[in-house]
Protein backbone atom coordinates (compact mmCIF):
# COMPACT_ATOMS: atom_id res chain seq x y z
CA UNK A 1 0.00 0.00 0.00
CA UNK A 2 1.30 3.48 -0.93
CA UNK A 3 1.31 6.19 1.74
CA UNK A 4 2.39 9.81 1.60
CA UNK A 5 3.82 11.10 4.87
CA UNK A 6 3.27 14.86 5.21
CA UNK A 7 6.77 15.74 6.41
CA UNK A 8 10.22 16.64 5.12
CA UNK A 9 11.90 15.28 8.27
CA UNK A 10 14.06 12.35 7.11
CA UNK A 11 14.38 10.94 10.66
CA UNK A 12 10.60 10.76 10.97
CA UNK A 13 10.22 9.18 7.53
CA UNK A 14 12.79 6.49 8.32
CA UNK A 15 11.05 5.70 11.61
CA UNK A 16 7.64 5.42 9.91
CA UNK A 17 9.09 3.08 7.27
CA UNK A 18 10.60 0.87 9.98
CA UNK A 19 7.37 0.85 12.00
CA UNK A 20 5.02 0.19 9.09
CA UNK A 21 7.18 -2.48 7.47
CA UNK A 22 7.55 -3.79 3.94
CA UNK A 23 3.80 -3.99 3.27
CA UNK A 24 3.74 -0.19 2.94
CA UNK A 25 5.58 2.06 0.50
CA UNK A 26 6.11 5.37 2.31
CA UNK A 27 7.23 8.52 0.53
CA UNK A 28 7.40 11.98 2.04
CA UNK A 29 7.16 15.54 0.76
CA UNK A 30 10.81 15.71 -0.30
CA UNK A 31 9.49 13.92 -3.42
CA UNK A 32 6.78 16.59 -3.88
CA UNK A 33 8.44 20.01 -3.52
CA UNK A 34 5.30 21.84 -4.67
CA UNK A 35 3.16 20.62 -1.77
CA UNK A 36 3.05 23.03 1.15
CA UNK A 37 2.74 21.82 4.73
CA UNK A 38 0.17 23.96 6.55
CA UNK A 39 1.38 25.81 9.63
CA UNK A 40 0.78 24.07 12.95
CA UNK A 41 -1.82 26.50 14.25
CA UNK A 42 -3.83 23.93 16.21
CA UNK A 43 -4.03 23.82 20.01
CA UNK A 44 -3.56 20.04 20.28
CA UNK A 45 -1.45 17.33 18.67
CA UNK A 46 -4.60 15.98 16.98
CA UNK A 47 -5.48 19.37 15.48
CA UNK A 48 -1.97 19.86 14.10
CA UNK A 49 -1.73 16.34 12.65
CA UNK A 50 -5.14 16.83 11.02
CA UNK A 51 -4.16 20.19 9.51
CA UNK A 52 -1.07 18.63 7.90
CA UNK A 53 -2.73 15.43 6.65
CA UNK A 54 -5.83 17.14 5.24
CA UNK A 55 -3.77 19.97 3.75
CA UNK A 56 -1.33 17.63 1.98
CA UNK A 57 -4.17 15.41 0.72
CA UNK A 58 -6.05 18.13 -1.17
CA UNK A 59 -6.87 16.93 -4.70
CA UNK A 60 -4.92 13.73 -4.04
CA UNK A 61 -6.38 10.23 -4.21
CA UNK A 62 -3.47 8.64 -2.35
CA UNK A 63 -3.69 8.09 1.39
CA UNK A 64 -1.84 10.75 3.37
CA UNK A 65 -0.64 10.48 6.94
CA UNK A 66 0.76 13.16 9.21
CA UNK A 67 1.76 13.07 12.81
CA UNK A 68 2.23 15.61 15.52
CA UNK A 69 4.12 14.44 18.52
CA UNK A 70 6.01 15.85 21.40
CA UNK A 71 7.09 15.73 24.98
CA UNK A 72 4.95 16.72 27.97
CA UNK A 73 6.83 17.32 31.23
CA UNK A 74 4.70 17.42 34.39
CA UNK A 75 7.07 19.73 36.30
CA UNK A 76 6.72 22.28 33.47
CA UNK A 77 2.92 22.14 33.32
CA UNK A 78 2.97 19.97 30.19
CA UNK A 79 5.58 21.97 28.28
CA UNK A 80 6.97 21.82 25.67
CA UNK A 81 3.88 19.99 24.36
CA UNK A 82 2.82 21.02 20.86
CA UNK A 83 5.81 23.38 20.75
CA UNK A 84 8.34 20.54 21.23
CA UNK A 85 10.01 20.95 17.83
CA UNK A 86 10.38 24.71 18.25
CA UNK A 87 10.73 25.01 22.02
CA UNK A 88 13.96 27.00 21.79
CA UNK A 89 12.84 29.00 18.73
CA UNK A 90 11.49 28.55 15.22
CA UNK A 91 14.69 27.10 13.71
CA UNK A 92 16.04 25.48 16.86
CA UNK A 93 18.17 22.34 16.62
CA UNK A 94 17.45 19.23 18.66
CA UNK A 95 20.36 20.18 20.95
CA UNK A 96 18.93 23.70 21.42
CA UNK A 97 15.56 22.27 22.48
CA UNK A 98 17.12 19.75 24.88
CA UNK A 99 19.31 22.46 26.41
CA UNK A 100 16.33 24.74 26.96
CA UNK A 101 14.34 21.89 28.51
CA UNK A 102 17.14 20.98 30.93
CA UNK A 103 17.65 24.68 31.72
CA UNK A 104 13.97 25.07 32.59
CA UNK A 105 14.07 21.95 34.77
CA UNK A 106 17.26 23.03 36.54
CA UNK A 107 15.25 25.76 38.30
CA UNK A 108 12.99 23.12 39.86
CA UNK A 109 13.61 21.26 43.12
CA UNK A 110 16.53 18.87 42.78
CA UNK A 111 14.66 15.97 44.41
CA UNK A 112 11.65 16.34 42.15
CA UNK A 113 11.06 13.47 39.74
CA UNK A 114 10.81 14.85 36.24
CA UNK A 115 7.88 12.73 35.10
CA UNK A 116 7.10 13.09 31.42
CA UNK A 117 5.46 11.40 28.48
CA UNK A 118 5.86 11.34 24.75
CA UNK A 119 2.57 11.67 22.90
CA UNK A 120 1.92 11.04 19.21
CA UNK A 121 -1.22 11.55 17.15
CA UNK A 122 -1.36 10.38 13.53
CA UNK A 123 -4.02 11.69 11.17
CA UNK A 124 -5.07 9.80 8.04
CA UNK A 125 -6.62 11.73 5.16
CA UNK A 126 -7.55 11.34 1.51
CA UNK A 127 -8.73 13.90 -1.02
CA UNK A 128 -9.02 16.66 1.59
CA UNK A 129 -11.05 14.58 4.05
CA UNK A 130 -10.01 13.28 7.47
CA UNK A 131 -10.46 9.50 7.73
CA UNK A 132 -9.33 9.10 11.35
CA UNK A 133 -6.79 9.86 14.07
CA UNK A 134 -4.69 7.41 16.08
CA UNK A 135 -2.88 8.14 19.34
CA UNK A 136 -0.06 6.62 21.37
CA UNK A 137 1.69 7.66 24.58
CA UNK A 138 4.65 6.37 26.55
CA UNK A 139 5.30 7.40 30.15
CA UNK A 140 8.77 8.01 31.58
CA UNK A 141 11.00 10.66 33.06
CA UNK A 142 13.60 13.19 32.01
CA UNK A 143 17.23 12.46 32.90
CA UNK A 144 19.52 15.34 33.80
CA UNK A 145 22.21 14.61 31.18
CA UNK A 146 21.73 13.50 27.56
CA UNK A 147 22.66 9.84 26.98
CA UNK A 148 22.96 7.87 23.75
CA UNK A 149 23.48 8.54 20.06
CA UNK A 150 20.42 6.98 18.43
CA UNK A 151 17.07 8.62 17.84
CA UNK A 152 16.43 12.34 17.52
CA UNK A 153 14.71 15.20 19.30
CA UNK A 154 14.41 14.64 23.04
CA UNK A 155 15.34 10.94 22.84
CA UNK A 156 18.68 11.41 24.69
CA UNK A 157 16.94 12.77 27.81
CA UNK A 158 13.79 10.59 27.90
CA UNK A 159 13.91 7.32 29.83
CA UNK A 160 10.70 5.28 29.46
CA UNK A 161 9.26 3.55 32.51
CA UNK A 162 10.62 0.04 33.01
CA UNK A 163 13.93 0.71 31.24
CA UNK A 164 17.39 1.87 32.33
CA UNK A 165 18.11 3.33 28.89
CA UNK A 166 17.00 6.54 27.26
CA UNK A 167 15.34 6.28 23.85
CA UNK A 168 18.69 7.38 22.33
CA UNK A 169 20.50 4.48 24.03
CA UNK A 170 18.04 1.85 22.80
CA UNK A 171 18.57 -0.08 19.59
CA UNK A 172 15.95 1.09 17.05
CA UNK A 173 14.18 -2.30 17.14
CA UNK A 174 13.50 -1.92 20.86
CA UNK A 175 12.45 1.73 20.68
CA UNK A 176 10.13 0.85 17.79
CA UNK A 177 8.33 -1.66 20.04
CA UNK A 178 7.66 0.65 22.97
CA UNK A 179 7.51 4.21 21.62
CA UNK A 180 4.52 6.51 21.41
CA UNK A 181 4.81 6.50 17.63
CA UNK A 182 4.88 2.68 17.57
CA UNK A 183 1.59 2.59 19.47
CA UNK A 184 -0.06 5.13 17.17
CA UNK A 185 1.25 3.34 14.07
CA UNK A 186 -0.13 0.00 15.33
CA UNK A 187 -3.60 1.56 15.52
CA UNK A 188 -3.10 3.17 12.09
CA UNK A 189 -1.98 -0.14 10.56
CA UNK A 190 -5.16 -1.82 11.82
CA UNK A 191 -7.28 0.91 10.17
CA UNK A 192 -5.33 0.64 6.91
CA UNK A 193 -5.95 -3.12 6.80
CA UNK A 194 -9.69 -2.38 7.05
CA UNK A 195 -9.42 0.10 4.17
CA UNK A 196 -7.44 -2.41 2.10
CA UNK A 197 -10.05 -5.16 2.49
Residues counted in the chain: 197
Give the model confidence (pLDDT) of 134-176 as tens digits.
Answer: 999 999 999 999 999 887 899 999 999 999 999 999 998 899 8
How many domains, in total, are found in the chain? 1
Average pLDDT over the chain reads 92
Looking at residue 73, which CATH number applies to its domain?
3.90.950.10
Give φ, ψ of 191 to 5 degrees.
-65, -40
Contact at 8 Å (CB) between 152 and 11?
A: yes
Please tell me the pTM assigned to this model.
0.90
Cα–Cα distance measured from residue 128 to residue 59, given in angstroms and rounded to the nearest whole number: 7
- Considering only CA atoms, give the Rg of the chain: 17
Range of the domain at 135: 2-196
As annotated, the active-site residues are 68
| Distance in angstroms (rounded) separating the CA atoms of residues 140 and 105 | 15
Distance CA 146, CA 153 (A): 11
Dist CA 44 CA 121 (whole Å) = 9
| Amino acid 185: pLDDT | 95
pLDDT value at position 38? Answer: 86
What residues in the chain have per-residue pLDDT under 70? 110-112, 197
Amino acid sequence: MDLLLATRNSHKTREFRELLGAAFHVIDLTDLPGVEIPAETGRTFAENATLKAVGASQDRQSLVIADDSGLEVDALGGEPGIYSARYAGENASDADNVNKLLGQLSTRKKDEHWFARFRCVIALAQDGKLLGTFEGTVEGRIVNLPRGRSGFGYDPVFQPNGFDQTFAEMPPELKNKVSHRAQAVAALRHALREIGN
